[in-house]
Structure 1
Amino acid sequence: MHEFLPAKQILHRRHIERIAACEVCGAERETIRHVLLECTMAKVFWEHTKKLAGVKLPHPHQDTWARDLLLAKVCSRREAAVIMCGMWALWMARNRRRHGERPIPVQQAVFWARDTAFDLWQILHSKNGNQPARDVLRWKPPEIDWMKCNVDGAYYPVDGSDAIGLVLRDHRGAFAGTRARWQNHSLDALSMEAQAAKEGIEFALEKGARNLILATDCQELVKLWELGVCQRSLISPILADIQQRSRSSDGFVLLFEGRLCNRVAHQCTKLVSSSSLVEEWPCPPPELHDLLAADCKNFVIP
């Protein structure tokens, strides 16, 4: 509203940028509105937001769009919250491109905006000040026509062994399968988490998933994934394999979820040992019943 975001048109007017044109779509002026609403990248983002988050971008007035959105005059307050978080994601993606960094994939940015808006809404509108933390830290189902595979690994540095666990569920939270595997030798914890992600996408594709969210509680793994070809870590071959396999799906997102959201997959790692190397269950094993039920308590089935 006060033109604090340094879009090129603003910098050009202040004699900082030589030209005001948008570097993405070639528009004559890169204004704040252009970046957030009108650019080619913005239009793709809002199309995915409508499809994946169920929020449609309204047609705000040319001059009062920011104020109208802030005051929720053009949509509901909940939709405005998602849209504003989406605009923040668009602006950060714009900055990453400007600085030569690899932007976050559009689908992942949409999921981030949706989940962030929802979590902030829960915090601000909770009747009990101590309740939000428990509400926010919960498993979230994927959108309709998507599957979600939570993966985790337990690394034991004493002998270098590890265990991998994964669980696949649909948008209703319905169980679609789980697998656990024991390994007597592993390089380190990060390699083990990457291997868990690789087995997760393999398992989901075997089960017929066409649109997949792969969720892990390893932030380092997600950061390396977002860097893409720019990173040269030891797990690069595994990430390249995941990228190759993801091309077999219609949609794919690798994202971070906290340990409390990933507890079913974590529990799976405890179901195997050196004497029981690989286990797969078409129906939930008894050890997972309570955790699976608890994950489904806090969301409304569409």
Structure 2
Amino acid sequence: MTHGTHNAVYDPRNEEVLIYVNGELFSRNEAKISVFDSGYLVGDGVWEGFRLHKGVLVFLKEHYDRLFQGAKTVGMDLGMSRDEITKAIWKTLDANDMKGGVHVRLMFTRGIKKTPSQDPRLTVSGPNLVIIAEYKKADPESRDQGVTLFTSTIRRGSPDYLDPRLNCHSKIHEVQALVQALEAGADEALMLDVNGFVSTCNATNFFMVKDGEVWTSTGQYCMNGITRGKVIEVCEQAGIPCFQKNFSLFDVYGADEAFVTGSFGGLTPVTGIDGRTITETVPGTMTQRLQKLYEQAIEAQVNEVKV
């Protein structure tokens, strides 16, 4: 049975959701994109995942900052402003009568190619935009039981060939890492950077706790996660020592607690890594405290937007 940080509680309403494709809405079974799409052919695209909570798209500015930086990095003109994208998202949400408990996946690709090729000059259309909004509540089992990790031999990319901060459609190295972890009997993969220091996980950011301190990687070789940034922020606000630093598996194996972060699952406890037990208390004391502080940050964002 699948178990991990992206497990969602089954919701039958998702069978009837309408999907946004370039300004039009289609039923789930009718939503399609061309086989000549750049994203399908060569993974040429950027994307974001948003949470709709109590009628508010949480941390929207931070997600847009990352989206537009990614598009600029790969030389892609999205052809839409932030306001126009927001209107497209709300068109999708309103068509599905969605108010909260929703995860939104927004995907831009460079467009349709004349023929299968990497060359952007062979793109014969504007960017393609797909928006998938689903009712998604994180499965409490992951939060209650925690997840296990396995350290993959697949390293996170160096900024000089594929900057890990780029939230692009090319995710094959993370998939490879996850496959290794699954074959080893773990739930997800822990990934090292090119220097052998702990970097991140295949789909989430990694944190460890030691002697009341929270550690995470330097950020040079990991996705610049929105939730990661918020956890660092709430630590600073609460006076919890939080360090972005280099550390190795030597440190991780001796951690008091560990957890991973992501927009969908929030903070998910890690119980074991590479067959070693990290904690039998789920969630740990610090992890539980940070879960509450993060939830408070979300509520503060909702209240700020609604004022």
Q: What TM bracket, shorter-length normalisation?
A: under 0.3
TM-score by length of 1: 0.26
Q: Select the structure with the greater relative contact order (CA < 8 A; seq sep ≥ 6).
A: 2
TM-score (norm 2): 0.26
Please say which structure displays the higher CA radius of gyration. 1
